[in-house]
Amino acid sequence: MTKPGRQWIHADAGYYHDPLTLKIKERFGWAGVIFFDAYLRACKRSVPQGQLTYSSEDELIHFLGVADLSRVSCAGDAWTVSDLWRFLGRQRPPMVTSRRVHGRVMTSACAWDAWEMSALSASHAERMRRSREQKRGTNVQKRGTSAHGRLEVGGGRLEVGGGSVRGENGGSSPTSPQGAESEPKTKNGLGRPDPTALIAMVRAIETQTPDQAPPQ
């Protein structure tokens, strides 16, 4: 199913519930539904894509891979490939056109290019959706880290927002005991936590013993 070099067809997930499919089933039975699906897949393999040329029905059914398919409706009436082409050509909009040229029947799946482009658009939209979800998850994670202002290293924890330093012994001390005098130690000129001061305080927490008081 996933071998390199294989061609893939854009198939509607609701193909068997589509109004056109139900019409085909009512007139030609399940054999008509399968035959039309096989025809679309054969159009993908043909050159140019979306067109199929054959000289006889026997040649066509072998190319489609449905040689052993009984072309009989649900009512038990036999039908020919020409019957199916006429039925599809009368739909609005037409689904398949056929004409005979120099003894060969040339068929075309109508709006094939638009159908292929819709497949590319759907694939692109799915990639963009996954990309947005990944970015959204990353942004939420970053916002959560910055909002709490918390660093945990080993047994020590530094909480910028709460203004406390906790060590392994569970003790705590305010990060700004002297009020404005100690504020420059943990904040830069913009009033934001200074990364250098925070790292130094975390390292002090890591090296302290349970009997030592947290650095002031």
Amino acid at 38: A
DSSP-H helix ranges across 11-105: 19-45, 57-64, 81-89
- Helix or strand (DSSP H, E) at 51: strand 51-54
Residue 201 contacts by C-beta under 8 Å, 6 or more apart in sequence? Answer: 158, 165, 175, 186, 215
Task: Tokens 């790292």: give the residue.
Answer: 199
Task: Give the number of C-alpha atoms closer than 13 A to the C-alpha of residue 105, restricted to the C-beta side.
Answer: 15
The tens digit of pLDDT for each residue in 93-109 reads 888 999 999 999 999 98
pTM of the model: 0.52
Mean of the pLDDT values across residues 73-102? 92
- In this predicted structure, what is the pLDDT of residue 23? 95
Contact call for residues 165 and 172 (beta carbons, < 8 A):
yes
Mean of the pLDDT values across residues 76-97? 92
Contact call for residues 98 and 39 (beta carbons, < 8 A):
no
The tens digit of pLDDT for each residue in 1-31 reads 455 566 666 677 888 899 999 999 999 999 9
Residue 74 contacts by C-beta under 8 Å, 6 or more apart in sequence? Answer: 25, 26, 29, 30
Residue 112 contacts by C-beta under 8 Å, 6 or more apart in sequence? Answer: 43, 49, 50, 51
The tens digit of pLDDT for each residue in 143-158 reads 655 545 554 545 555 5
